[in-house]
């Protein structure tokens, strides 16, 4: 029995070699088809998966012209919460002007705000910079007393709404800051700032500005004229005629207390 078992492989090999040539080729072809079929299916599956992934992965949009809508002169109505995150509900209103100038063909812009109200006179300046690598904007404030740019709020526009975030301190407490630009039309837009002291679970709005575009072209043209040295000094002189606790972080560094 052992001898017969030993001879069987040889007998099988003899039968294979003695089979007609066309039959051997047919059998080899069938074997290759059976072997390659899973590989083809795997490659096809990977190709389909890659195609679906590329179709579903959104391309980052070029947002360097996001603020083009705001270039020009605007009439500003401002409401400000006097004491944020204290439970206070005391608001004060201001009226004035905002001028926005394009820089670097839209990759940056300069904002000048000047308003008056029962609590005094506010003048502020903000430099907004676009990062083409991250596709995000940073909103930066500077004043002459600090001599440096403040901590920026950073974010982007999606579906016509801009959201910008930052982490700062207010009265020695760590807070989150959210600055929102919304309701954008050719004639108006809205700016809103909110603070959160619970990690972003709840937000308290403390700054609401509504801008309406100025129609008088002469005002726009005159707004681009260089300021006198006295006017330039007044642009950064916050403390001379008013007392207020906090401007939006777009317009004031929380590191510099304003009296």
In sequence order, which residues have a C-beta less than 8 Å from that of residue 200 and are 6 or more positions away?
A: 176, 178
pTM above 0.85, yes or no: no
Task: Look up residue 92 and give its two tokens.
Answer: 């004060």
69 — pLDDT class (breaks 50, 70, 90): very high
Residue 137 host element (H or E): strand 136-141
Tens digit of pLDDT for each residue in 115-174? 999 998 888 889 999 999 999 999 998 655 556 677 899 999 999 999 999 999 999 999
Angle subtended at Cα 191 by Cα 212 and Cα 85, rounded to the nearest 5 degrees:
140
Instruction: State the chain's mean pLDDT as an integer.
Output: 76
The span from the CA of 89 to the CA of 257, in Å, is 21
Q: What is the mean pLDDT of residues 208-219?
A: 81
Residue range 177-186, pLDDT digits in tens: 999 999 999 9
Q: Round to whole Å and give the CA distance between 167 and 205.
A: 16
Token pair recorded at residue 48: 């389909």
């Amino acid at each position: 029995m052992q001898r017969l078992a030993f001879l069987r492989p040889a007998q099988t090999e003899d039968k294979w070699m003695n089979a007609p040539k066309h039959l051997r080729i047919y059998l080899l072809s069938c074997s290759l088809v059976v072997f390659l079929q899973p590989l083809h299916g795997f490659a096809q599956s990977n190709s389909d998966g890659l195609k679906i992934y590329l179709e579903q992965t959104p391309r980052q949009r070029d947002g360097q012209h996001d603020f083009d809508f705001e270039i020009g002169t605007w009439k500003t109505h401002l409401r400000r919460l006097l004491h944020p995150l204290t439970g206070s509900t005391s608001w004060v209103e201001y009226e004035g002007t905002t001028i926005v100038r394009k820089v670097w063909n839209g990759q940056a812009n300069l904002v000048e705000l000047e308003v008056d109200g029962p609590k005094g006179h506010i003048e502020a300046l903000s430099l907004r910079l676009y990062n083409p690598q991250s596709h995000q904007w940073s909103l930066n404030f500077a004043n002459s007393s600090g001599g440096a740019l403040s901590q920026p709020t950073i974010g982007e526009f999606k579906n016509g709404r801009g959201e910008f975030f930052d982490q700062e301190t207010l009265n020695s407490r760590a807070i989150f800051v959210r600055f929102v630009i919304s309701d954008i039309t050719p004639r108006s837009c809205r700016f809103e700032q909110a603070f959160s002291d619970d990690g972003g679970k709840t937000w308290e709005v403390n700054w609401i500005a509504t801008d309406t575009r100025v129609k008088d072209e002469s005002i726009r043209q005159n707004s681009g004229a260089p300021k006198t040295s006295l006017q330039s000094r007044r642009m950064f002189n916050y403390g001379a005629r008013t007392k207020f606790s906090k401007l939006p972080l777009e317009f004031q560094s929380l590191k510099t207390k304003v009296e």
